[in-house]
């Protein structure tokens, strides 16, 4: 994994950053041009993009990764259409997660004041456009609904459900159903949510004991 400055200011225009981003952006296009049944080719491109790709991951595409190498995806995770991951800092996605269409994860942060967004003074006396980034972590067995946005510095615990259209600005504890803009915890997920209690949905299927 490449350095992401551990929350300190950095220049997105540093040569090594521009080189890596260009490589990843081109690989995004390669991935998005492939047919869904070109499984080996898609796997090869995704492996080249990401910092860590575990077994059984399916990314529908199209995708947009910024660096790619700062992102890890755990085994068995499914990511639907139009996934965007701006991974200036580390992005960790756990095992057996499900992402709906149009999920976005962002890690970079910019100054609030307009003049500071334009230029800041660097230690060498030069003036540059700078930003910083905060890591995002998503636990195991999480379901993020369509159009969820996960903001910098957020941790989502294991077994969470994030409602469609949510903007997650704060961390969410494990086993929570959270939704809204800004996203907030609605309640804990319990055995009362089991499909065993919803025979009208379960039909002739059964919950595995």
Model confidence pTM above 0.85: yes
Give a yes or no: residue 209 inside a domain.
no
- In this structure, is residue 208 part of a structural domain? no
Quote the number of domains for the chain: 1
For residue 182, cis peptide bond before it (omega within 30 degrees of 0)? yes
pLDDT digits (tens, 9 = 90+) for 24-59: 999 999 999 999 999 999 999 999 999 999 999 999
For the stretch 99-140, pLDDT in tens is: 999 999 999 999 999 999 999 999 999 999 999 999 999 999
> Is residue 25 in some structural domain?
yes
Does residue 81 form part of some domain?
yes
What burial class does residue 84 get, using C-beta atoms within 10 Å of its C-beta: 0-12 exposed, 13-18 middle, 19+ buried?
middle
Catalytic residue among 25, 66, 70, 110: 110
How much is the pLDDT for 5?
Answer: 62
Residue 75 lies in a domain: yes
Residue 13: inside a domain, yes or no?
yes
pLDDT at 143: 98
Clarify whether 110 is annotated catalytic: yes
Task: Let me know if 6 is exposed, middle or buried by CB neighbors in 10 A (0-12, 13-18, 19+).
Answer: exposed
Q: Is residue 207 part of a domain?
A: no
Nearby residues of 198 by Cβ (< 8 Å), 6 or more positions away: none
CATH of the domain at 43: 2.160.10.10
Give percent of the chain with pLDDT exceeding 90.
96
Residue 3, pLDDT above cutoff 60: no
Token pair of 19 as six digits: 């080189």
Task: Find the domain containing 64 and state its range.
Answer: 5-202
Mean pLDDT, to the nearest integer, of 130-156? Answer: 98
Cα–Cα distance measured from residue 64 to residue 20, given in angstroms and rounded to the nearest whole number: 14
Distance CA 150, CA 173 (A): 14
Distance CA 28, CA 14 (A): 21
pLDDT of 1 higher than 60: no
């Amino acid at each position: 994994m490449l350095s992401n400055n551990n929350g300190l200011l950095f220049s997105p225009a540093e040569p090594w950053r521009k080189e890596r981003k260009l490589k990843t952006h081109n690989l995004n296009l390669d991935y998005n041009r492939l047919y869904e049944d070109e499984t080996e080719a898609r796997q090869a491109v995704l492996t080249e993009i990401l910092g860590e790709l575990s077994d059984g991951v399916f990314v529908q595409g199209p995708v947009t990764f910024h660096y790619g190498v700062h992102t890890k995806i755990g085994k068995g995770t499914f990511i639907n259409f139009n996934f965007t991951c701006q991974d200036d800092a580390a992005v960790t996605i756990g095992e057996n997660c499900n992402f709906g269409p149009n999920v976005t994860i962002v890690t970079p942060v910019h100054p609030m004041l307009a003049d500071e967004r334009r230029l800041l003074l660097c230690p060498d006396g030069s003036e540059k456009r700078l930003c910083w980034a905060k890591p995002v972590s998503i636990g195991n067995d999480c379901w993020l609904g369509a159009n969820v946005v996960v903001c910098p510095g957020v941790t989502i615990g294991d077994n969470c459900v994030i409602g469609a259209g949510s903007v997650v600005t704060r961390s969410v504890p494990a086993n929570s159903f959270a939704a809204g803009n800004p996203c907030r915890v609605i309640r804990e997920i319990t055995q009362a949510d089991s499909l065993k209690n919803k025979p009208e949905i379960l039909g002739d299927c059964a919950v595995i004991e």
